[in-house]
Amino acid sequence: MALKSDRTVTNSARVCENQSGTSAPHPLAPTSAQAVFPLRAHDAWALPVEVLKDALGATFSEKELIDDHQAWLVALRGRIMVITVPGLSEEAKKHRIRRLFSEHISHGWAAITVNSEEGVTFAETFLEEVDPADGPTDGPPDVRTKQSKDVRDLYEGSTYAPLHGWRSDEEVIAALRTLITDALSGTAEDIPEEVYPLPDGVGAAVTIGYDDQGAPHPMVWVRTDIPSGLRADLWGYCVALSVSFDRADIEPDEEGIFYVGMERSPVSGPGVALLAAVTVQRMGRRPEDCAFSLLAPPAQTEEALPLAA
């Protein structure tokens, strides 16, 4: 039976573990923090700009730039230089710096520009006499800055530090499910085995149900036949989507169901994906790229997920 968005919602019959104030050491504690916990694009939007500046070894300066460019990032001989035009408000300046850092972290571009419309261009290399706008349009080499510090340390004492320490994927999944069932009074279930195989690329389904008083509550189903890290990040995205349906970039199907894909992209700015990343981290996991795609509804009715209430 296809899931209906107007049915009564009850809490999941599966009891989630309560969050505790103590936790064992993270089971995936790395021997090399650089290799296991690199900076990711979402960090450019979650960490303070000054912390990012120190972590990347960047220098800031102001200078008039050509055309409509408002900010440049140049990675040259192991150094990062960030240049912004004079006269920007502090908020606008930080936003453009975060955008530059986000692009550099996720793509490793050597020279990046941001214009007044948030348009981004890049170049493979940067010499003093070369304008980044004259660079190629694809295929830059990876020149990401080497990291010498465990990225997790950058969050110590911050708003986005883990509530109960770094935890295993399964512990984080349990905590995220509890957010849905308890804090949001919703339903959080695994996709039943009997509905496999799923439509191509579908990792989760999210909709809104209504209780007897007409109050809305999220209903979330996530597949189980994928690695635990991907499942944890998917649960985080579903939590974020459950409180941000108005920010979705695609319409649900006729039953009000959003189909969440499994393909990841770097977080490009504030929105559902950034909320997903910081939520997962608050629960105790270093998230990977959390910008999951929302898929168009399956074309054929028989391809829709026949989820039980």
Q: For 161-210, what is each residue's pLDDT tens digit?
A: 999 999 999 999 999 999 999 999 999 999 998 988 988 899 999 999 99
Instruction: Tokens 């192991």: give the residue.
Output: 78
The verdict on 200 and 284 lying in the same domain is: yes
Higher pLDDT, 249 or 140: 249
Whether residue 160 lies inside any domain: the answer is no
Domain tally, the chain: 2
The verdict on 139 and 227 lying in the same domain is: no
The answer to whether residue 136 scores a pLDDT higher than 50 is no
Strands 187-190 and 216-222: parallel
Task: List the domain range (segments joined by +) for residue 132.
Answer: 58-144
- State mean pLDDT over 59-71: 95
Q: Is the whole model's pTM more than 0.85, yes or no?
A: no
Q: Of 34-48, 143-157, 239-253, 268-282, which gets the smallest average pLDDT?
A: 143-157
Whether residue 43 lies inside any domain: the answer is no
pLDDT on residue 307? 62
Q: Smallest Cα–Cα separation from 232: which of 162, 280, 298, 269?
A: 280
The verdict on 116 and 188 lying in the same domain is: no
Whether residue 35 lies inside any domain: the answer is no
Instruction: Give the C-alpha separation, 68 to 45, whole Å.
Output: 23
Instruction: Give the C-alpha separation, 234 to 165, whole Å.
Output: 20
Whether the CB-CB separation of 270 and 231 falls below 8 Å is answered with no
Whether residue 63 lies inside any domain: the answer is yes
The verdict on 189 and 131 lying in the same domain is: no
- State mean pLDDT over 213-236: 96
pLDDT on residue 124? 57
